[in-house]
Structure 1
Amino acid sequence: MRRLVLAVQFLTRLPLPAVRADADDFAAAMRWFPVAGLAVGAAVALPWWALQARDPWLAAIAALLAWVAITGALHLDGLGDVADGAGAAHGGRERLSAVMADPHLGSFAVVAIVLQLLAKLVLLHALPGAQPGAQAAALTAVPVLARVAPIAWTLFLPPLHHGLASRFRSGVAPLHLALWSAVAVAAALVLALPLLVLFLAVPAWGWWLRSRIGGISGDGHGAGIEIVETVLLGALVLAG
C-alpha cells in the first residue's frame, strides 16, 4: 500500500499522509503509476462530464484546469525541459544536459508548453458530447494508459544520466509491463478502440528520445506522458 501512496504522492498534488519508505519502495512505486493516473483521469473527466451539456468550451477549460492542478504541471515542466534540450542538441551531449538541468525556461520550452495546453484544450472541446458518460469513461482512461508508458521507457531505454529515471529501473520488470499492457488492451476494447494507439505512441516517443536525446530521464518521462495523453485524446476525437 505504501508504494501506491508513493506513486500517487509523486504524480499528483493530492493531500496524502506521509509514509515511511526506502529506496526500493520508491523504485517499485512506478508499478502503480497507472493507478495514480486513475485519480488524474477522474479529476479531469468529472468537470468535463458535468459541464459538457452547458457549454463545451466551459467543460474543456474546467477539465484542463483540473488536469494542470492535480498534476501540479509536473509533466509540463518535463516537456519544457526536453524542448529546450532538443533545441540545444546541436551543441553536444554536455550542452544538452546543461540546458535540460537549467531551471529557467527557454523559448523552446515556452512554445512547447503553450502548444501542448492549446492542443489539450482544443481536443477536450472537440470530444463528441453525444454520449457524455461513455466519453467521460474513455477520458478517464487517458491519463491511466499514459502512465503505463514510463514502465516501457524505463525497461527499454538507457538512462540519460544518474538521476530520477535511473532510480526506477530496479523497481519494474517485464511482467509489470505485460500486466499493465493487458489492462490497456482490455480498457480499449471496453471503452474505445482508438485508445490502442497507445501501442504506437509509446515506442515512437521512445525512439525519438533514443535518437535525439540519447536516453530516458525524468524529464523524458514527463514529456512523454504529456505527448501520449495528447495522442490518445486526438485518437478519441478523430474516431468520434
Structure 2
Amino acid sequence: MKPLVLALQFMTRLPLPAIAADAHDFGRAIRWFPAAGLVVGGGIAGAAWLGLRHDPWAGALLALLAWAWLTGGLHLDGLGDIADAAGAAHGDRHRLSAVLADPHIGSFGVIAICLQLAAKLVLLRLALEDHSPWPLVLILMLARIGPLVWTLILPPLHEGMGTTFRAGAKVWVVAAWLAPLAAITVCVEPAMLLALPTIPLWAWWLRRRIGGISGDGHGAGIELAESAALAFWVFAG
C-alpha cells in the first residue's frame, strides 16, 4: 500500500508516517490520486455538514476552509502559477518557463486564486441550500482522475515528479476509476458528469498555450475541474 500512502502524502496535509519508497512506488502513486480525493472529499463534506447545523453560509465557509487546509493550497498554487505564466508570457515559451520557475506570485496569479476561492464559496453556498454535502466526495474524486489523463496525453514540460508519474499512469487505471465513479454519480448527482469534458479541454489548452504538463498544470486543472463540477451540480442538477 506504499503508493496509496505516498498519494495521500503528496496530495494532502494529513499527518502520515514517513515510509521508505523508490521511484517505482512514486510512479504508481498517481494511480491513487482519486482515492486521495475520496479522503479529502470526506473531510470537506464533513465540515460542510457541521456548518449546515447553523446555516448554508457556515457550511460553505467551513467546507472551503477544510478544502484549503486538507490540500495545503497545493492546487491553488498551481492555478496561480499557470495564470501568471499565461498572462505574462505573451506566447514566449522561454519567458513562460521563467515565470513558472519563479516562486513569487504575480497579479494574474492573485486574481486567479481570489476568483477561484470566491467561486467555490458561492457555489458551495448554493449547493448546500438544497443538497446534502456528501456528493462533494464525488467531485473531489472526479477532478483527480484528471492527472491520470493529462499524464497520458501530454508531454512533460520538464523532468520531475511529472515524468516519474508517467510510469504509473495507464489507460486501464483511468477506466478502473472512471467506470464506477460515473455509475455512482449517475445515481446520485448525474449533472456532475457534465464536468468531465473539462479534463480533455484543459489538456487542449495546456498543449496550445503552455506546451505540456507540469505539477502546476495538474494543480490548476484539478481546481478548474472541481469548480466546473460544482457549477454543473448547482445549475444543472
Which TM-score bucket, shorter chain as reference? over 0.9
Give me the whole-angstrom Cα distance separating, in 2, the residues matched to 1:219 and 1:140.
23
Task: Identify the range of structure 1 (82-91 vs 23-32) with the bigger mean alpha-carbon deviation.
Answer: 82-91
Secondary structure of the 1:88 match is: helix
Q: Equivalent residues in 2 for 1:159-198 (5 A)? A: 159-198=156-195
- Extract structure 1 runs of 4+ deviating beyond 6 A: none
Partner of 1:233: 230
Structure 2: how far apart are the matches of 1:214 and 1:131?
39
Instruction: Letter of the 1:207 partner, please give it.
Output: W
**Aligned to 2:19, what secondary structure does the other structure show?**
coil
TM-score by length of 2: 0.96
Q: Is the 8 A contact 2:51 2:59 kept in 1?
A: yes
Deviation at 1:131, TM superposition (A): 4.4
What is the RMSD of the two structures over their aligned residues, measured on CA atoms? Answer: 1.2
What is aligned with 1:21?
Answer: 21
Distance 1:146 1:100 in 2: 22
Aligned residue number for residue 215 of structure 2: 218
Q: Distance in 2 between matches of 1:199 and 1:117?
A: 21
Q: Find out whether 1:72 has 2:72 as its counterpart.
A: yes
For residues 28-72 of structure 1, the C-alpha deviation after alignment (integer angstroms, 9 at most, x for no partner) is 100000000111101111121222242111111110000000000
Specify every segment of 5 or more residues in structure 2 that has no aligned partner in the other structure, as ranges.
none
**Matching residue's letter, 2:85:** G
Equivalenced residues, count: 237
Cα 1:91–1:129 shift into 2, 3 Å: closer
Q: 1:128 to 1:55 in 2, by over 3 A?
A: closer
Identity %: 55
**Worse-superposed segment, 69-78 or 156-165:** 156-165
Tell me the alpha carbon deviations over residues 113-138 of structure 1, each in whole angstroms, 9 at most, x when there is no partner. 00000000000001043442xxx221
Residue pair 1:89, 1:213 contacting (<8 A) in 2 also: no
Q: Which amino acid aligns with 1:171?
A: G
Q: Deviations for 1:155-213, whole angstroms, at most 9, x for unmatched residues?
A: 01111122221221111211111111212211211221012123211011111111111
Q: Shift of the alpha carbon at 1:144?
A: 1.0
If the length of structure 1 is used for normalisation, what is the TM-score? 0.95
The within-5 A match list for 1:74-223 is 74-90=74-90, 92-132=92-132, 136-223=133-220
Q: Is the 8 A contact 1:74 1:222 kept in 2?
A: yes
Q: 1:143 to 1:131 in 2, by over 3 A?
A: closer
Q: Which residue identity does 2:42 align to in structure 1?
A: A
